[in-house]
């Protein structure tokens, strides 16, 4: 399974930007980079995904390195509600079926 | 749009007992997933259905776990007999399709199982 490497934990302050890094040196050409987050006592929720180009949505931005071996999830203005575990995942197709393999993720703490 | 529904939310059983979890995916979603999340770890895929057929069950401990998705809608996951190491949160997720592209997975709130 495709492996990603993330810091175990990060801390930031409310209303400041947060940059969550992810390394995926074994990424293949067809792997999409997905980010999910899991708030306490909830199931994971989708944040954003991309293939080669940087992506923006209402929740976050995803910056993908030119060689695709790393990416960064950017929360532009963190709120207390953004405190969660963030998972960087390589989506693979196994016999055509989409498969996500979750790692340990990064636990993000937001200070008021 | 209603989300993925799961029940029960919590369950406590003794080892060697059996237990069943129920999942109702988002209407129209063809693909359904069951994950196991042990405390402090990320979710691990147990089984993936495309409509009512199994796509991937490579990580399902088939000697004690079973799952079905009748009529391609609701699904049940059963454990019989339960072991202490089965204590975890069992998450159900669904997506519009599971093949040929990349799609969001929508997760339910999970069922927290404690085996004593």
Tens digits of residue pLDDT in B69-112? 988 899 999 999 999 999 999 999 999 876 666 788 999 999 99
Chain A residues touching residue B38 (CB < 8 angstroms): none
Sign of CA dihedral A57, A58, A59, A61: positive
Question: Which residues, 6+ apart, have CB-to-CB distance to A103 below 8 Å?
Answer: A3, A4, A5, A6, A87, A88, A89, B42
Cα separation, B23 vs B4, whole angstroms: 7
User: Does residue B43 belong to the interface with chain A, where contact is any CB pair within 8 Å?
Assistant: yes
Q: Which of B34, B42, B111 is best to mutate for the A interface (most A CBs within 10 A)? A: B42
* pLDDT confidence of residue A97: 76
Share above pLDDT 90 across residues of chain A, in percent, rounded to a whole number: 79
Greatest C-alpha distance within chain A: 46
* CB–CB contact B4 A101 (8 Å): no
Cα separation, B43 vs A46, whole angstroms: 14
Cα separation, A21 vs A55, whole angstroms: 15
Degrees to nearest 5, angle at CA B112 with B108 and B113: 135
Question: Considering only CA atoms, which of B29, B11, B21 is closest in space to residue B93?
Answer: B29
Nearest-CA distance from B43 to chain A in Å? 6
Cα separation, A40 vs A42, whole angstroms: 6
* pLDDT confidence of residue A3: 86
Average pLDDT of the segment spanning B38-67: 93
* pLDDT confidence of residue B97: 74
* CB–CB contact A45 B102 (8 Å): no
Q: How big is chain A, counted in residues?
A: 112
Chain A residues touching residue B105 (CB < 8 angstroms): 36, 44, 46, 100
* pLDDT confidence of residue B37: 97
* CB–CB contact B103 A45 (8 Å): no
Cα separation, B81 vs B15, whole angstroms: 7
Cα separation, B20 vs B12, whole angstroms: 12
Q: Which residues share a beta bridge with B75?
A: B23
- Mean confidence (pLDDT) of chain A: 93
DSSP-derived 3-state class of residue A4: coil
């Amino acid at each position: 399974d495709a492996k990603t490497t993330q810091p175990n934990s990060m801390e930031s302050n409310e209303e400041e930007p947060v940059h969550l890094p992810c390394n995926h040196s074994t990424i293949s050409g067809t792997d999409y980079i997905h980010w999910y987050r899991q708030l306490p006592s909830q199931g994971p929720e989708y944040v954003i995904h991309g293939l080669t180009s940087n992506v923006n949505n209402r929740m976050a931005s995803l910056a993908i390195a030119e060689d695709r071996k790393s990416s960064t999830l950017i929360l532009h203005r963190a709120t207390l509600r953004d405190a969660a575990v963030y998972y960087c995942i390589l989506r693979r197709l196994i016999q055509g079926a989409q498969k996500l393999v979750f790692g340990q993720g990064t636990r993000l703490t937001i200070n008021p | 749009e209603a989300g993925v529904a799961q029940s029960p939310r919590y369950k406590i059983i003794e080892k060697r007992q059996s237990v069943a979890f129920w999942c109702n995916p988002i209407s129209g979603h063809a693909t359904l997933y069951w994950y196991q999340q042990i405390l402090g770890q990320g979710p691990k895929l147990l089984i993936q259905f495309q409509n009512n057929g199994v796509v991937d069950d490579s990580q399902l401990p088939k000697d004690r776990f079973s799952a079905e998705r009748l009529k391609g809608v609701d699904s049940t996951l059963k454990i019989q007999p339960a072991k202490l190491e089965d204590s975890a949160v069992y998450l159900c997720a669904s997506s519009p399709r599971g093949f040929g592209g990349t799609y969001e997975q929508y997760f339910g709130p999970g069922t927290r199982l404690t085996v004593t």
